[in-house]
Structure formats: C-alpha cells, structure tokens
Structure 1
Amino acid sequence: MGIKSLVKKWIGVQDKETTSADVAVLERSETVFLEKDKKLNEQIEYAAIFNMIQQEVALTGIVLASQYDEELASDVVKVEVSGIPVVITREELGCTPHNLPLMRYVGETIQFQLIEANEANGLVMGSAKKIKEKEFDKLYHELKEGKQFQAKVTKILRYGAYCVIGDISVQMLNKDFAEDHTTIGDVLEIGDTIDVRFNRITENKNLRVEPLVRYKNGVSVSLTELEPNQVVLGTVRSVKKWGIFVRIAPNLDALCSIPSHLAVREGDKVSFRITQVLKEEKRVRGKIVRLIKKD
C-alpha cells in the first residue's frame, strides 16, 4: 500500500469529515516523498556505477542497439547495466574506421567495463577494448612463459593465417608453419585447430604463434620424371631476398633467382623452366619464364 493510501485510511479512521484540501496537501507531500525516493535511488545507482569504474569490474551484456551519436561524433552501441543505458563507441569496441557497420553487434553478448559516468546528463560510457587488452596481455605473458594453447583457424591468407585462442586473435605465418615451403592453406582449413606456442610479438602488437611440431612433407614425386629444359606450371611459395621457391609438383619446391623482368608475389601461378635436377640432394633449380594471368 502506498503513502497516499495509508494516510487517507488513517484520516478516514480519525476524522470522517476530511476536506478535499487535506487530501491535496497529502498528495503534494507524497510527490515530495517520491521525488526524494527517486533521487536517493539515483544516488545509490551512481555510487555503484562509480565503484565499478574504480574497481574496473568486468561486465557482460547484450548489445541492444547501434546508431551514430552526433554529440560523440562516433558510431556507438548500447547495452544496459541494472537498467541504466551504457554507450560504447566504435573506438572502445576495438574497431577500426574501416570495419563493418556496428549493427552486426546487435543481439551479441559482449564483455565490457565502465569507464566514465556523468550524472548531469545521465551518460554512462563503457569499453570492450580495455577488456580485450587485459586478455591480450594475459595471453601474451602465458605464451611467453612457455604455456601451450590450442588455436582455431579463422582466416587463411597467402602468407599465413589468423587464428583465435579464446577470444584473442593471433597470427601464424607460412614460414613458421612447416620445415619445407608447405603453406598453412595446404594443410588446414577454417575451423581446424592446432596446438601452438609463442613465436614473437611485433612492434604493432601482433601476437604470433607457431606449431609445437612444424609440418614436414616428404617428396612424393620421383625426380626421375623431371628433366632440364622442361617447362612446367608452378606456384610461387616463398619470396626471399636471395631467391624464390616455386612448387612444381606435389610437395616439391624448386629454387630460382628473382626475375628482373617480372614482379612476383607468393601465390602467383607461373610458367617455370627446369635447369637442374639434383637427384641425390632431392633439389630442383630453374627460372620463372612468365606469369600466368588469372581469368
């Protein structure tokens, strides 16, 4: 029962001739009580908000909306903490300006922490990036100390692959994957997992890993089938300062010098002329004749 009802009941019992003026006074009094209650609740809520900011509490919430905020001059997403709206800007999501629209986050559950609260305008700001930075630092130190993890392949590129350990993205390069010039894409697919350890961290804070055991393929083609002056189809596997490796048969890479008349990249299809077949060493040398244009 509310304050108004209780007071009216009390008046009805004490004085059957209560005037409308008395009721009006009571209603004004109730409004004052409710406003004080509201202010007290707001103070309690903001006290909790400020405490969470100070303690850097990790929170979890569902993204309820995305939009462009003119005052913040940024795309933002909105979540809630105890019914209080929290705004997270694109930068604090950890997204670059070239990422996809933030609407893709709507409905997703994200981790974040509160970083700022303004009682005057009722604005509470959050950051998912700070949570990711803490997770990144923790993973980096654990890897560096020798801990091994299972990484999941999320994207394959011509020079390597992106993987995730938990929610943290890491890189693995082809040159760190195999003892020969087999690429990650030759062996693994998106969704595959591989046991990895620390390799290094770049100046741009890209965390790189390598397999616990590097992949190695035996030569599966007979070198007796290859002869000097043969021209075969090849794929550029690795470009070094001193030469280029071209795959000319399953698990067989041939070495050639860098052509002065062509600009070649890893993954390019080329016409390759064999110049030497070193059977005892299981090596082939040659030169790139031309690039094979893609349709």
Structure 2
Amino acid sequence: MPENKMYLPEGLRPRAPLTPALLRDAQDHNTILEAPVIRCDAERTLHVSLGPMEGLIPRTEAISPWIGGADRDIALLSLVGKPVCFAVSSLAADGKGAPRALLSRRAVQERAITQFMETLEPGTVLTCRVTHMESFGAFLDIGCGVVAMLPIERISVSRIPHPAARFRTGQKILAAVLSVDRENRRFTMTHRELLGTWMENASYFSPGETVQGIVRSIRDYGAFVELAPNLSGLADLKDDVAEGDRVSVYIRSIRPEHMKIKLQIIQRLTPAVYPVPLRYQITDGTLEHWVYSPPCYEKPPVATDFTALGL
C-alpha cells in the first residue's frame, strides 16, 4: 500500500455521517475528517457541510502559510465545492444556541508535512490526486492538501504536449517522490517509472498484430505512435495523419536490442478519448533503481537511480 495511507489526498478519504458524537470523538482523538466546503464568506471563513451542525474553518486555519499562494484569496475561494480535510478544534454553540464546530485544516496539513518530511524519501510511492495542470506539469495533492509538482517530462516516457493528454483534474493516480526540498518543504514527483519498463510494455504486443495508437510527434523520417504511455513505435509518414490523431497500426517488428518497434499506419480512427487508461506495474513500496531499457539494449541503459537523488 502506498506510504501516505494515513494522510490521504483530499477527496479520497472514506466519509462517514458526521454526527455530533463522531465530531466529539474526533476532537478527543485528534482524528482527521473530511467534508465539502459549501461557501466562503466575506471574512474568508470556510463553511463546511457537517449535516445538522455548522462547521467553520477561519481563514487563518484554512491553509498553512508555507504552502505557495496561501496568502492569496484565490487559494481559499478555489476550495468552495470541494472536499477538505480537517481536525475538530472545538464544539460549542453560536449566539443563537445552535451547535457549531470550529475546524482546522491547517493543523492537519502541519501534521502531514511533518510526517512526510520525516519519512518520505526519493522513490517512495504515494497515492495522489491531480489538483490542476499547466503546460509544464501537473500539481498533485500528496496528502491533506499538501501539493507537489510533477514535471511534464516525468509523466511518461512517451512525450505528450500537455498533462491533460494523460490526466484529468481530480483523477486519482500513483506517483513516486523524485526529490525532497527540506528547506522549503517541497516535493517533486515522478510518474513514468510506475508505468513499467520497455519490456513490460512491449510484452502486451506481438509482430503481425494491428492495434490502436496515438500519433505523438511527426518528423521528416516518420511518425512516432504511442502504443502505451511508456511505449512508442516509429511508422512511415502518411499524408492525412497529424499529431494527436488516433490511428490503427500494424506491428511489423519488435526489436529489444535497439529498443525499437516498427509500425505501419493503417488508417485514422475517431478522435482519441482522454485521458488514456493507465496500467501501473509498480503500486507501492520504495524504488531504488529503475531501468527502463531491456537488458540486451546495445546502448547505455535508460534508468533512474533514486538512491543518488537522495544525496
């Protein structure tokens, strides 16, 4: 099981009816709970849906100050309509005698980041949730709203034009820690190693088959067609094919010693549906050394040494 099971990303924590008894028990035992934010008032207090009881997260308790953008209103406004995790600070009554719970998301984030800084190291596999995407990469919630960066070049071996070609916002994925910046309390993640080696991906295909693929790039000498997120082959150019097209391809040959797959494009198909399904070969534990290229590969191996990244 991934190593952040105690501090899951927001939106992935199992929910139970938040009764007054459960809230009192959570306060006594410092339990992490989760519920959706229903509004953010003019004072930037978050109002959380707790059923019969009102839940309030004051602005100062909504986001830890070390999180990038925590001082900006948009960081709070963007939480409306989304689940957030929290600890119960106090249970009391408002001015009209109605029950009310004061909550702290910040306290939970501080607990999570302290645990992460003490235990996570390069290669550690985590359950993550995609929060948003930019052209340079995807931002991942690695636990309790703690956000880490996944650079686009670390998403898959097959190159993509934008993270949206691989993920959707809110998607649950797995990723491994690439580096830890302890001074700034930041993590950088990697994803491609969990999708398997060249041989693991190539084992799903055989010469003589016709399969589906996505044209990822076109060069003067041919078109690179993605058969799986970590596997591409080279096909001869075809006039009516463009980057991003979904095509059917005939597999002419698979050559592990050259790490090459020779393809022939048969025809264009209906547009690709994103995101492409992911098939993880690694789902937990801590990676030390990952080699993408086959043992018989005639060139220096394509690999990631997580032990070196931890220095």
TM-score normalised by L of structure 2: 0.39
Query: Looking at both structures, which has the greater relative contact order when contacts are Cα pairs under 8 Å and sequence separation is at least 6?
Result: 2
TM-score normalised by L of structure 1: 0.41
